[in-house]
Amino acid sequence: MRKMINSNATEVALIGVLLLIGIFLSLSTDRFLTLGNVFDLLNTSAVNIIFAVGLLVVLIAGGIDISFAVAASVVQYITALALGAIGGGNWAIGLIIAGSVGILFGAFNAFFIHYFRIISIVVTIATFNIYFGMLMFLTGGVSIYDLPDWLVTPVILFEHQAANGSWSEITLPSLIMVGCVLATWLLITRTTTGRQIIAFGDNPEGARRFGINIAAMQFIAFGWLGLMSGIAGLVQAHYVQEVVPNALYGRELDVLAAVVLGGARLGGGRGTVLGCVLGVLLISVTQNGLNLLGVSPYAFKMIIGAIILAAITLSNTGLERLLPVFANKGEAK
Amino acid sequence: MKKLLAAAFAASLTIASASPSFAADSGKVGVVVKIGGIPWFNAMNAGIDEQAEKLGVDATMIGPTSADPALQVRAIEDLIAQGVKVIGVVPNDAKVLEPVLQKAKDNNIIVLTHESPSQKGATWDFELASAQGFGEAHGKLLAEKMGGKGEYAVFVGSLTGPLHNAWADAAIEYITENYPDMKVVGDRYGVAEDVDKSRSTALDLMSAHPDLKGFMAFGSQGPIGAGRAIQERRMIGNVFVVGPSSPGQSRRLIKSGALAGGFMWNPKQAGEVFVTLADKLMKGEKIEDGETIEGLGVVHPDFENRNIIVDQLVAINKSTVDKLAAMGL
């Protein structure tokens, strides 16, 4: 038991903090634990979770990427224009176009990182500017409101009318999110490729000597993030029913913070899908709780920052130092 | 240190005195807006371009990549260094821009601002809607839609943006005075420039306050996000969203009733006024009380606070939205 807690310190700490916040919110507001609110949390976190599991794979492989959110904006544009050109399409075609274009953007990053041995943060700062600059330049900042009907029609998977007449629903983004989370989990924990990515992220030189194909690792990691960004971009365009060039600008830092909060190590080699999902959820639940509690919006950022700090402190310190009961009595003073 | 300052001052003087010869007779005009790439400022850009061509002025618009006051400061510094004659600004944060606008003025640059009344450092600020008139119009619309009673919430673009908050103040005051059965819930929420945040906050607030009947959103994306939330909760006809929005973007929502309506002024017209005023002031003309200026109508400037405020409101509702959207707004 103790061993399990210690080896998954981050996840345990996050679940603990989430439970504490959850219990507190259920006691102090009568709205937190309603179906409607839980569904809202799922629906509104879906896009960030899809981004987050993609970024997780890159972080595990020892890289970092800040270009994925604006790349997703470019994907939105290309997909919207391509769908317009072929005259409609459907969800399958949309996802294939968005995913493939996303993979291309990821591969572009991986190409420079691998063949020219440039640090990933430098490459992605450059591509971040290239993608966003290209988007603003080519579109002139014009949004697209005329999207195909299938894309802007909400797809309701489950709906429920509460006693007071209010509707709550689970929509397509949540299903796509679950698919992406499962696929990433399978990739990391159940495939040889996943283990190779972890080994490569932990010790690139060791992995190379061991015979792991380094180029493949980079392309798979960044390609995976590209795929997820493409899908996330399409999903975001779906629920806001429009394509706006800077709608996703700045999202990369929110997602990065959530993934690192979820225990992914910036140096590579460590990170779990569960932790990453919990990281995103912790931030969404906090924001949601503050609204439900009626806390003044002037205090929001302060409280969110404090909770991130508390969760990270808890997971980094580990239970032994915070709760000396668990520690060896002989060493404790 | 003193020497360094003196050198810097001398350098800035040379730049300032060198610029007119460099920019020939007419002089350059640079307009820094809140954020590039959103329909509102695209329309303003169109207004600036058209009027610039008409009057033969060299005017350009600069749109930062995010609504960050620091990016605006940098853009204004760049314009000062380029030696422009007029700087126009639609500020993200009035206070943050004060020093850099003062610096521009010290370099003999004419500073025009918009959507920031009584901006310190401005030569003139112009408004196409008075905060009072605009806020009251929205307050009245929301009260009519809600039948004069019930709870409502207020979104603004940012908690420090001067104009959104002045509208909200005027609207809330109007409602409190005339409709005592209406009650505002919570403080105001600074989410209205972000469609995702507006949507999730509106969903949260509807959960927190089951009797909530209305949203008043001031900020380009606020009414859109709140409208989407109403659609999601199937509350069209029960919860009303009012607020200024970009007609092309809000057309579908207004037609479906998820967005009850709002008022706006024409950003394209604001762009034109930037250039018209810049041209007038560059020629050394003064602005007189009671005179008629293209795009503003008859003006009664407030010489003490350097404000030119007129009321040129355009209603956005089911019957006008198509026409406005067709104008590219």
Contact state of B35 with A246 under an 8 Å Cβ cutoff:
yes
Q: Does residue B321 lie within any of the structural domains?
A: no
Among B48, B66, B165, B203, the residue to mutate for chain A (most A Cβ within 10 A): B203
Say yes or no: A153 contacts chain B, CB-CB below 8 A. Answer: no
> pLDDT, tens digit, for every residue of B34-51?
988 777 888 899 999 999
The reply to whether A321 falls in a domain is: no
The one-letter code for the residue type at B183 is K
A182 or B297: whose pLDDT is higher? A182
pLDDT tens by residue, A17-32: 899 999 999 998 888 8
Asked if the model's pLDDT at residue B17 lies above 50, the reply is: no
Residues B183 and B147 in one domain: yes
- Distance, CA of B281 to CA of B112 (rounded, Å): 10
The CA distance from A131 to A222, in Å, is 16
- Please check the confidence at residue B15 and state whether its pLDDT lies above 60: no
The pLDDT tens digits for A34-78 are 888 888 899 889 999 999 999 999 999 999 999 999 999 999 999
Distance of CA A58 to the CA centre of its chain: 11
Residue B118, domain CATH = 3.40.50.2300
| Dist. CA A131–CA A138, nearest whole Å | 10
Query: A26 CB near a chain B CB, below 8 Å?
Result: no
Residues with Cβ within 8 Å of residue B312, at least 6 apart in sequence: B128, B129, B265, B266, B269, B296, B297
Query: What is the pLDDT at residue A165?
Result: 73
Q: Residue B267: its chain A contacts at CB < 8 A?
A: none
Number of folded domains that form chain A = 1
* pLDDT, position B151: 95
A292 belongs to a structural domain: no
For residue B322, is it within any domain?
no
Same domain, B165 and B240: yes
Comparing CA positions, the residue from A230, A200, A264, A195 lying closest to residue A56 is: A264
- Which of chain B's residues have a Cβ under 8 Å away from the Cβ of A284? 200
Interchain contact A141–B (C-beta under 8 A): yes
Expressed in percent and rounded to 5, the helix, strand and coil fractions of chain A are 75, 5, 25
Report which of residues B11 and A297 the model is more confident about.
A297
Which pLDDT band, with edges at 50, 70 and 90, does B24 fall under? very low
Bigger pLDDT: A144 vs B97: B97
Q: What is the pLDDT of residue B22?
A: 41
**Subunit contact B38:A141, Cβ cutoff 8 A:** yes
pLDDT at position B74 is 93
A241 with B252: Cβ contact below 8 A: yes
Lowest mean pLDDT across A22-26, A240-244, A309-313, B324-328: B324-328
- Which pair of structure tokens corresponds to residue A93? 């075609």
B86 confidence band (pLDDT: 50, 70, 90): very high
Within a domain: residue A303? no
Binary contact (A44, B203; C-beta < 8 A): yes
Residue B292 within a domain: yes
Both tokens of B322, joined, read 């198509």
Instruction: Output the pLDDT for position B14.
Output: 44
Q: Token pair for residue B90?
A: 């639609």
The confidence score (pLDDT) of residue B19 equals: 40
Whether B120 and B176 map to the same domain: the answer is no
Q: Does residue B238 share a domain with residue B260?
A: yes
> Residue A172 in contact with residue A114, Cβ under 8 Å?
no
- Per-residue pLDDT tens for B159-202? 887 888 999 999 999 999 999 999 999 888 998 888 888 999 99
Q: What pLDDT was estimated at residue A329?
A: 47
- Residue A166's closest chain B neighbor by CA? B233
Domain count, chain B: 2
The answer to the question of residue B151 being in a domain is: yes
Torsion of CA A90, A93, A94, A96, to 10 degrees: 160
ipTM > 0.90 for the complex: no
In this prediction, residue A330 has a pLDDT band, given cuts at 50, 70 and 90, of very low
Q: What average pLDDT does range B215-219 have in this prediction?
A: 94
Q: Which of A1-5, A246-250, B174-178, B242-246 is the least confident region?
A: A1-5
* In-domain check, residue A283: no
**Predicted pLDDT at A192:** 94
Whether B271 has its CB under 8 Å from any CB of chain A: the answer is: no
Chain-centre distance for alpha carbon A30: 29
Residues B198 and B285 in one domain: no
In a domain, A320, yes or no: no
In this prediction, residues B118-123 reach a mean pLDDT of 90
Query: Whole-number mean pLDDT of chain A?
Result: 88
Q: Are B244 and B258 in the same domain?
A: yes
**B205 and B95 fall within a common domain:** no
Rounded distance between C-alpha atoms, residue A181 and residue A103, angstroms: 17
* Interface touch B204/A36, C-beta < 8 Å: no
What local confidence, expressed as pLDDT, does residue A333 receive?
39
Beta-carbon separation of A145 and B252 below 8 A: yes
Is B220 within 8 Å of chain A by CB? Answer: no
Domain limits for position B142: 131-264
Residue of A nearest to B233 (CA): A167
Give the chain A residue whose CA is nearest to the CA of B227.
Answer: A240
CB pairs under 8 A between A and B: 106
Any domain includes B305: yes
State the Cα–Cα distance between residues B123 and A54, nearest whole angstrom: 50
Domain match, B138 and B251 both: yes
Tokens of B214: 């209305």
Over residues A75-116, the pLDDT tens digits come to 999 999 999 898 888 999 999 999 999 999 999 999 999 999
Same domain, B83 and B139: no
Nearest CA among B90, B123, B92, B128 for reference residue B108: B123
Residue A8, in any domain of the structure: no
Q: Which domain holds residue A69?
A: 50-272
pLDDT score at B328: 66
